Amino acid sequence: MPFSPALMKANAMRLILASSSPRRQQLLTELGLAFDIIKPRIDESRRADEPAIDYARRLSREKADAVAAPLADETGLILSADTIVLLSADAVADDAKAELLGKPRDAADARRMLIQLRERPHQVITAFTLLRKDRKNYDPRVITRHETTTVHMRAYSDEEIERYISSGDPFDKAGAYAIQNEAFHPVARIEGSYSNVVGLPITAVRAALRDMGYPLP
């Protein structure tokens, strides 16, 4: 059963974004939500033979747990997320043989990823967790969900890749690109949620907040 929004207001529920991503912050701000930011610190290594979706979902839950642990007696609702880019020969999002493209280590790594992605479809998977931490931390309520968007990249040139790398934009982004970058505009079309590719499937997050009884603007 979802919690009552009136009860949430009465309890002065604090919303915490467990992410330092400016894209996620912007998406929540556009929803009209007030929130605090606490950056989680976890080991983000992928386990052996771990399916991509399981990996993203696990990281989102571990990020929420990491932020919740030191909050002691405070009541709060924690939102965490993890976005991965998956490049698969047969376009199956949870294919164990697919390549996960993380944040590029350097310019050469960014160049490699952008060349791999060019004129090919790939999947962007964002998993998110909402964790309601009670004052005594008894039976915390947790929702973990994920969304997948298929992204088709356009035929950008090598020169465009070099200009984009020189801008510095690829280096804090999984897959080495931002769909919203107006100068590079690397994406031809998508199948699914645009905001999911930015870093948070906002429609799904709104639904989960409602399920938690959190009062939306």
Q: What is the pLDDT of residue 78?
A: 95
Please count the other Cβ atoms lying within 10 Å of the Cβ belonging to residue 127: 26
Q: Which two tokens stand for residue 31?
A: 């929803």
* Separation of alpha carbons 166 and 163, rounded Å: 5
Q: Choose the most confident range, by mean pLDDT, from 86-95, 128-137, 202-211.
A: 202-211
Q: What is the pLDDT of residue 89?
A: 66
The residue-averaged pLDDT of 98-110 equals 94
Averaged confidence pLDDT in the chain: 89
List CB contacts of 30: < 8 A, sequence separation 6 or more: 202
- Structural domains in the chain plus CATH codes: 5-211 (3.90.950.10)
Q: What is the pLDDT of residue 95?
A: 58
Q: What is the pLDDT of residue 70?
A: 87
Q: What is the pLDDT of residue 162?
A: 98
* Separation of alpha carbons 213 and 215, rounded Å: 6
The 10s digit of each residue's pLDDT in 142-185 is 999 999 999 999 999 999 999 999 999 999 999 999 999 999 99
- Which residue would you say has higher pLDDT here, 216 or 18? 18
> Any catalytic annotation for residue 211?
no
- Which residue would you say has higher pLDDT here, 216 or 24? 24
Q: What is the pLDDT of residue 1?
A: 34
Q: What is the pLDDT of residue 64?
A: 95
Q: One of 82, 95, 106, 109 is an active-site residue; which one?
A: 82
Q: What is the pLDDT of residue 7?
A: 40
The residue-averaged pLDDT of 80-104 equals 80
The residue-averaged pLDDT of 85-114 equals 83
The tokens 């107006």 sit on which residue?
A: 182
- Asked whether 63 and 80 are in contact (CB, 8 A), the reply is yes
pLDDT beyond 60 at 139: no
